[in-house]
Chains A and B, each alone.
Chain A
Amino acid sequence: MDYFDILVSILGSTIRLSIPLLFTALAGLFSERAGIFDIGLEGKMLAAAFASACVAYLTGNPWLGLLGGIAVSIVFSLIHGFASITNRGNQIVSGVALNFVAAGLTIVLGQAWFSQGGRTPQLAGEARFSPITLPGVDLMRDVPVLGPLYVNVISGNNILTYLAFAAVPLSWWVLFRTRFGLRLRAVGENPGAVDTAGISVTWLRYRAVIVAGFLCGFAGAYLSIAQSAAFIKDMSAGKGYIALAALIFAKWKPVPVMFACLLFGFLDAFANFMQGKAVPGIGEVPVQIFQAMPYVLTCILLAGFIGIAHPPKAGGVPYTKER
């Protein structure tokens, strides 16, 4: 295999590995921009993956599976909202709690319902989101450089992949060009001002966490019914936290979020590729270096060595209307 083919195959898997990160990081973007920290992204993604796989298995329809995942993920969001908005509880504690509930409940229910050690049954082809071949693949195949990129990287993904990339400009537009987005960002910076303007802080924040739940639903569905054909226990495997890292790495902005997710996805794909291979002159590079890289990069960024990441000012602070 020459270097170009290798690159194309790594880029292809970069896309596949970035998508759950992208949905989840955008989910975190909405929540955190509204001033609600969301450590529970991981749990929501996992719960959604489980629900999607169950519904898709029972109905044989991936779209219903996706809906199921979104519904469960939004329920988790609402619990998070109830704890952190209505009851003014600690948002981080609430998120940690929901991660545990999701991690445990998916396995307990999966085992009780399907008796396959926490797995859900294998999905048939039509119950999953299958790869879409874009028009013109046959024409493009022989074009040098662009051809293989188009055929193997851009075409041949499932519908959720394209939706994820569409969600990036859409999120930008909602957050920065609509009244809802302006208010949402305001409530994350200075909820008192929003309240003074006669807008309900509570309702705005609830809407933000619901949007977050909605997007996590896509991430979960992608894991279990697009990328795989079943739910496997703990299948989110820390992706929620990597997405959180990507969100911070991108300084809470939608388009940089996409690039951060692609970067972290690339590191993951590259680590998979490098497994067991030796680099000339250095020898075998341990895969753990690539695995730790997203976290190390985020810490370096947080330390202020690559620009400064300013989180939303009111992030993590419950809003108390009366004193």
Chain B
Amino acid sequence: MSTASVPLPNWITYGLMPLLNLLMAFLISGLVVWSIGEDPVEALKLLIEGALGRGDAIGFTLFYTTSFIFTGLSVAVAFHAGLFNIGAEGQAYIGGLGAALVALSLDHYVPWYVTMPFAVIGAAIFGAAWAFIPAWLQARRGSHIVITTIMFNFIGAALMVYLLVNVFIVPGKMAPETRTFLPGGQLPKLDWLMAWFGLKLGPAPFNVSFLIALVMCFLVWLLIWRSKLGYEMRTLGISPSAAVYAGIPYSRTVIIAMLISGGLAGMMALNPVMGSSARLQVEFVGGAGFVGIAVSLMGRSHPVGIILAALLFGILYQGGADLSFEMPNITREMIVVIQGLVILFAGALEYMFRPAMVHLYQRLKRA
């Protein structure tokens, strides 16, 4: 008998199974840590302390979380429409260009809260534009979106290096980056929010884009589950042929879904570019676009799940950096391994435990 069609209650599908998958990823990571001669339990303790132990640590954790919420939402929106957007990395990179152009042109004249809405729009438009060509190719020419978005990550990286090295570089400086934005082009830190909880932010770059990310979570929820467009996207994602039967225009829905996805990825740039370094730098995305894949898979493409999964990865990124100071044997790249394992177990092997779960559940129900 096939177990694939047996329905399971939501708390197993959305609660227990992701937890089991996460546990597997951590068990194997623990094995890796143990195999290089370190104590996994001690490492986990250091990691959590490093991520949540102090005010500034929490600030850094939430800073990373902010980036991952944006990219997680980006991947999730495309996912609902049945599209796999691997290009969030490149879209965020180009989105940074949009944010930086706004900041560079307005920071002399207006305060940050005037710059901010324009920067959000600029970042979103540039990110969306970078998603548009792959989307158009998928919708109209049938080229596989996974391949084209991968290609566009590389093209985007080459373009940005060219622009930073040849166009935006400050004359007389060696570093390929723009000039530092004035306060009018920066997003202020959220130290008041931390102060509510009696925590000191310190040097951590936790900033207003976190609030923008939360707003976007709500908007994405509205879009996906409370709007006609979202309904059409989900229909397309579950069954393209049913969508066509129902009169849902394929090309239009694919392109709009990808534009929204690219826009959300582009907004991620607000956080590092305007919220932290106050300038556009080479490779500022730093893999956050790819973390978005893991976040979206972990969070089952739901905004609440994405916030939780982004927080988890925020903890891993901040804690992992701290851990590599305390245990030099465990380099920062250990996070990349964990990330890969989470994607493997929560994504590719998500059904591995399902047959066992179904048997267990049926036995429990009978008992």
* A residues at B contact (CB < 8 Å): 37, 39, 79, 82-84, 87-94, 96-105, 107-109, 111-113, 118, 238, 241, 244-245, 248, 286, 288-289, 291-292, 295-296, 298-299, 302-304, 309, 311, 320, 322
Contacts and interface: CB of A to CB of B under 8 A. Distances in A.
Contacts of B159: 288, 292
Contacts of A111: 329, 331, 333
A303 B142 CA distance: 8
A96 B162 contact: no
Nearest to A117: B331
B343 A108 contact: no
A75 B46 CA distance: 32
B348 A83 contact: yes
A302 B331 contact: no
B158 A104 contact: no
Nearest to B293: A96
Contacts of A91: 348
CB-CB nearest 8 A-B residue pairs: A100-B340, A104-B336, A94-B348, A104-B337, A302-B143, A101-B340, A112-B36, A89-B348
B150 A241 contact: yes
A245 B133 CA distance: 17
A302 B337 contact: no
Contacts of A248: 147
Interface stretch (B55-63, B179-187, B349-357): B349-357
Contact of B333 (A92, A96, A98, A103): A103
Contact of A97 (B150, B166, B344): B344
B340 A99 contact: yes
Given A245-B151, A292-B155, A311-B144, A104 B335 contact: yes
12 contacts: A89-B348, A93-B293, A98-B344, A101-B336, A101-B344, A102-B340, A103-B336, A241-B150, A286-B166, A289-B158, A295-B154, A298-B147
Nearest to B353: A87
A100 B144 contact: no
Nearest to B140: A303
Contacts of B348: 83-84, 87, 89-91, 93-94, 97
Interface in B322-354: 329-331, 333-341, 343-344, 347-352
B151 A96 contact: no
A79 B161 CA distance: 35
B5 to A, nearest CB: 9
B347 A299 contact: no
Contacts of B2: 322
A87 B144 CA distance: 23
Given A109-B36, A112-B329, A292-B158, A299 B151 contact: yes
A94 B151 contact: no
Contacts of B347: 89-90, 93-94, 96-97
Contact of B331 (A82, A97, A118, A286): A118
Given A89-B347, A112-B36, A295-B155, A105 B146 contact: no
B276 interface: no
Given A108-B330, A108-B337, 20 more contacts: A39-B150, A90-B348, A93-B297, A101-B341, A101-B344, A108-B32, A108-B334, A109-B32, A109-B36, A112-B329, A113-B36, A118-B333, A238-B154, A245-B151, A288-B159, A289-B162, A292-B159, A299-B151, A303-B137, A322-B2
B344 A94 contact: yes
Contacts of A97: 340-341, 343-344, 347-348
A113 B329 CA distance: 9
Given A87-B352, A89-B351, A299-B151, A304 B141 contact: yes
B251 interface: no
